[in-house]
Amino acid sequence: MARDLKPAGTGIILLTLALAAWVSMLPWPDKISLLRPEWLVLVLIYWVIALPYRIGVFWGFFAGLFQDVLVGAVLGQHALAFALVAWLAQATHKRLRVFPPLQQSLVIFLLVGVSVMVSYLVQDAAGRAQYSPLLMQLAAVASALLWRPVYVLLRGVRQRFLVR
């Protein structure tokens, strides 16, 4: 029956992705900048898990392109990483939904870690890598720790604005 309903809330999805991109651009002190969570990836993962029949690889690719342009990264770096993460999240969405919160956070750590590693590999191939890949994984740790509050917040938004 849920598939018979007409999709709604595309504007809300775009707004949450834009807000996540904006929050990711806020300045952080240099000493803790490696702990900056991957906000856009977290929001993308939520929407892929919540609406796998609507949000998928193409959304990930275009959100990644937006991130590339926003931060001035190698064009396609985040697009490739986000598309891969969206594909992995879409392939495992049924299992992710039933996992307990701690196990979900572990999977989010792995998904964000994949995104960070793909970004690192592209940066390294372009000669623009600044940090070691292990240091870059701190963003995945921070993202995993923030997954549950982000999940609860976005679920509330989804229910409030009837996004389907």
Instruction: Specify if 1 maps to a domain.
Output: no
Tokens of 14: 């775009």
Total structural domains in the chain? 1
Instruction: Specify if 26 maps to a domain.
Output: yes
pLDDT per residue of the chain (164 residues) written in tens, 0 to 9? 455 678 889 999 999 999 999 999 999 998 898 899 999 999 999 999 999 999 999 999 999 999 999 999 999 999 999 999 999 999 999 999 999 999 999 999 999 999 999 999 999 999 988 888 899 999 999 999 999 999 999 999 999 999 99
**Could you tell me the pTM of the whole model?**
0.94
Instruction: Specify if 101 maps to a domain.
Output: yes
Specify the DSSP class assigned to residue 31: G
Pair 60, 82: CB distance under 8 Å: yes
Longest dimension (CA), the chain: 51
Q: Give the ranges where 51-137 is alpha helix by DSSP (H).
A: 57-71, 77-91, 93-98, 101-125, 133-136
Domain that holds residue 77: 9-160
Instruction: Specify if 4 maps to a domain.
Output: no
Pair 73, 116: CB distance under 8 Å: no
**AA letter at 75:** L
